Amino acid sequence: MRSSGCICRSRTSSRSTARKHVSRYTVLLYLTGGSAEPALDLTGGAAFTEIAPFTCVIFDQRYEHEGAPYLEGRKVFLRTELIFTDPQVTHDSEIGALFSKACYLTGESVFAPELARHADSQSPPTAIT
């Protein structure tokens, strides 16, 4: 799902099988404030049209999320993940390859709209269990 000026993300959790680490939550720290339609929308959860400077949002990665550029000014934020230890983490090379491809295509899509469309069509939303 992509609309004009919006970035939509559906994340699978990243994993480290050697360390038994898994990320389950995304942390966004907005350094600047502003408004947009939406500034941040968590599909199935909260939606924000205004964000104050230094607002911190933490959400489960099961939520697909999107946000539009602010109507005025720059939208500047820091993004990180909360990592947990899970002894049940196993390696799946097919999922790893898909995740790696999606990360690369998403990063490159900032500079090429046609690549963004291709990346979106190749990365269907997945649920984390």
**107 Rama sector, left if φ>0, alpha if ψ -120 to 50, beta otherwise:** alpha
Tens digits of residue pLDDT in 2-22 = 333 444 444 445 555 566 788
Cα angle 100, 38, 9; round to 5: 10
Taking the CA of residue 50 as centre, how many other CA atoms within 13 Å lie in the half-sphere pointing to its CB? 1
Closest C-alpha to 40, from 4, 18, 61, 64: 64
24-83 pLDDT tens trace: 899 999 999 999 999 999 988 889 999 999 999 999 988 888 889 999 999 999 999 998
Please choose, from the candidates 7, 10, 8, the residue with its C-alpha nearest in 3D space to the C-alpha of residue 128: 10
Enter the pTM of the model: 0.62
Which token pair is 100?
Answer: 């790696």
The predicted pLDDT at position 84 comes to: 87
Q: Which residue has the higher pLDDT, 91 or 80?
A: 80
29, 56 in Cβ contact below 8 A?
A: yes
